[in-house]
Amino acid sequence: MTKVASSTTASVDAEFYLQADAFFRANLPTALTFDDVSLATLFSDILPKDADTSTQLSDAVRLQIPIVSADMDTVTESQMAISMALNGGLGLIHYNMQPKEQVKEVARVKHHIHGFIQDPITIGPDLSIGDVLEFVEQKRFGFETFPVVDRQNGKLLGLLPGSVVKERYRNKSVVEAMTPRAKLLTVLHTALGNDPIGRADKFFTDNIGINKMLVVDAEDRLKGLVTSSDVERIMNESKSRRKPARDAAFRLLCGAAAAPIRKPDGSLDRDRIVAQIGQLVAETVDCVAVSTAHGHTAGVGDMVRIIRDAFPTLTIIAGNVTSGAGVEYLADCGANAIKVGQGPGSICSTRIVAGVGIPQLSALYVASKGAARKGVRIIADGGITKSGDIVKALTLADAVMCGGLLAGCREAPGEIMEINGKLYKQYRGMGSIAAMKAGSAARYGQDKNDATRKLTAEGIEALKEVSGSIDEVLGNLIGGVQSGMGYLGAKTLADLRAKARYARVSPAGQKEAAPHDVIEVGRKN
């Protein structure tokens, strides 16, 4: 029998451990961050391993874990985004690169593990194997098998197997190297029904040794492709507790930062912005992020409106803000999710340089009120140093964005360097001088090409000790999140937000919260 606390006991608990509205109002005018607060435990009938960490950034973008890797040039490129999605999260590819390179980075993620590929990469019959080799190298594809189609009518002509895409066959033509149409087994797209992966699974079971299912229409035009390896991965995923984050076509989720492109007179260049976002959309990017240090501005609002008008169904993330009014403004402009945080990042100096910014937990509370009024999501961006911070952030936000926690992972961009026997990676704020010169100056309302004034840094350059793989780091972080949910009896993140009770922590309490008064003994793997 479950024991129920007496009314007297419950009233004492309610007096000391407050819900969000009562807690943050009781602490006015002081602004609080993660270490200033602790969460009270509640009766629980769930195990941490059963806690569901999935979340929505929009109706179209669902994550299995509530973690997004930051759109920073020392954090997220394709390798990080692939690993984030495979672990159920989302990577936002930065824009400190040429636009065409950003498009390629997105393409690498979206073409990593496909499932049912509705628009497969094809080649024409007029190429040589050498041409195909150069194509693979140029696009950096992780595959070498290609359907061969007639460029005039789209009809299937054959399949070029990866086994012949070799340097020794460079001078051979695609036509003489391919498996011709007459020898290929295909499936009509009308036979796929509502479960293409299930249909493909049966196809590969019935046809031993075949590892590509080609989908055609009644006119024999190629309509799609499924590989046996992808089907096996997806079928295995259904048995896994943590599933990759995928779109409706089973491709990995991927986001990209959107650069504010301006005309010489300083106004936004709508045509170029739409063209650049259009290229990302053509590669099936799942969301774009309009990221600036100050998101509650006319410029950010106008950029969001431009993107929303041109792409009505695209998920838009915008920020950063620290107020309910800022959230409501960006929501009215068309954003689906709003980033909250000004100055809490480990390499950010905005609060020192500009004297602005709000401690992160108070900022999240205020922003959450605006988000509730507008029906949008918020992302806690910055200040996360440990899994407990993520738990606290998720009592108010729908997801967190991490930079410093992930910058030391092997999947982050940049070379590994050794200093005094330890391995490090470069980590820099997008407001650092080096990052702004590379392209992010507009993020801070500055122009790198303006010779009349110097760039003012709002971030620093630093080193992060190499921390292993993203799989290991995310495993530890999510384990901590699920543990926190277990302490509160929260089956879902919605339960966590509803059940959260807060207490203010003194400096002595902060010290007490971490291991103390001991000499830690341990070994590194």
Rounded CA-CA distance 272/277 in Å is: 9
Cβ atoms within 10 Å, residue 91: 33
Nearest to 426 by CA among 438, 436, 416: 416
Distance of CA 190 to the CA centre of its chain: 34
Give start and end residues of each alpha helix (H) in 156-292: 174-177, 196-206, 228-237, 270-282
Which helix H or strand E contains 419, and what residues bound it?
Answer: strand 416-419
Rounded CA-CA distance 341/294 in Å is: 9
Burial of 493 (0-12, 13-18, 19+ CB in 10 A): buried
Pairing of strands 377-381, 399-402: parallel
Rounded CA-CA distance 148/257 in Å is: 34
- Sequence length of the chain is 525
Phi and psi at residue 31, in whole multiples of 5°?
A: -95, 140
Rounded CA-CA distance 427/69 in Å is: 14
Cβ atoms within 10 Å, residue 266: 8
Rounded CA-CA distance 301/330 in Å is: 6
Rounded CA-CA distance 133/430 in Å is: 37
For residue 296, the number of C-alpha atoms closer than 13 Å in the C-beta half-sphere is: 15
What the block records as the tokens of 318 is: 């915008």
Rounded CA-CA distance 198/183 in Å is: 24
Q: What are the distances in angstroms from CA 38 to CA 14, 113, 379?
A: 15, 41, 20
For residue 135, the number of C-alpha atoms closer than 13 Å in the C-beta half-sphere is: 17
Cβ atoms within 10 Å, residue 387: 18
Range 303-308, long-range pairs (CB < 8 A, 24+ positions): 303/258, 303/260, 303/268, 303/273, 304/330, 304/333, 304/334, 304/335, 305/333, 305/334, 306/268, 306/270, 306/273, 306/274, 307/258, 307/273, 307/274, 307/277, 307/334, 308/333, 308/334, 308/335
Positions marked catalytic: 348, 443
